Structure 1
Amino acid sequence: MGSPIQDKDRQLDYLKQRLQMFMNLLDAINPEETNLEDIDRLITIIDELEMKCREFQNREA
């Protein structure tokens, strides 16, 4: 596992990349074929992004 990101610019870049990946995933999902497990995974990804935002917010630069 890598070392924690301390630089605020790198933290923001990381979050932007993760959000972009999430948006790409949303674009690729076919609503007609989406099941409960897919939705649960999307919610987990959002929770992980939220947790990372809080973690970065609480770190000192």
Structure 2
Amino acid sequence: MGNAVHDSESQVRYLKERLNMFMQVLDSIEPETTELEDIDRLITMIDDLELKCEQFKKSDDNK
């Protein structure tokens, strides 16, 4: 996942993979044992996804 993503198809595939990773992390969390750090990690993952969406949107707007 370290390669640059430029075309729309690759961008969508990247976002789907990242969202899938988020869902896997979310599914693995046990509510009874969840720590604040776990919640912070989820928030960071969502923030990163949001940032990437904005970057992709800007790159599409510049085409």
Q: TM-score, normalised by structure 2?
A: 0.88
Partner of 2:5 in structure 1? 5
Residue correspondences, number: 61
Partner of 1:17 in structure 2? 17
Residue 4 of structure 1: how far off its partner (Å): 2.5
Alpha-carbon distance in 1 for matches of 2:20, 2:3: 22
Question: Do structure 1's residue 58 and structure 2's residue 46 form an aligned pair?
Answer: no
Give the root-mean-square deviation of aligned CA atoms: 1.6
Q: TM-score, normalised by structure 1?
A: 0.90
Structure 1 residue runs without a partner (length 5+): none
Partner of 2:28 in structure 1? 28
Partner of 2:43 in structure 1? 43
Runs of 4+ in 1 over 2 A off after TM superposition: none
Residue 46 of structure 1: how far off its partner (Å): 0.4
Give the counterpart letter for 2:36 in structure 1: L
Residue 5 of structure 1: how far off its partner (Å): 1.0
Work out which structure has the larger RCO, using CA pairs closer than 8 Å and 6 or more positions apart in sequence. Answer: 1
Residue 55 of structure 1: how far off its partner (Å): 0.3
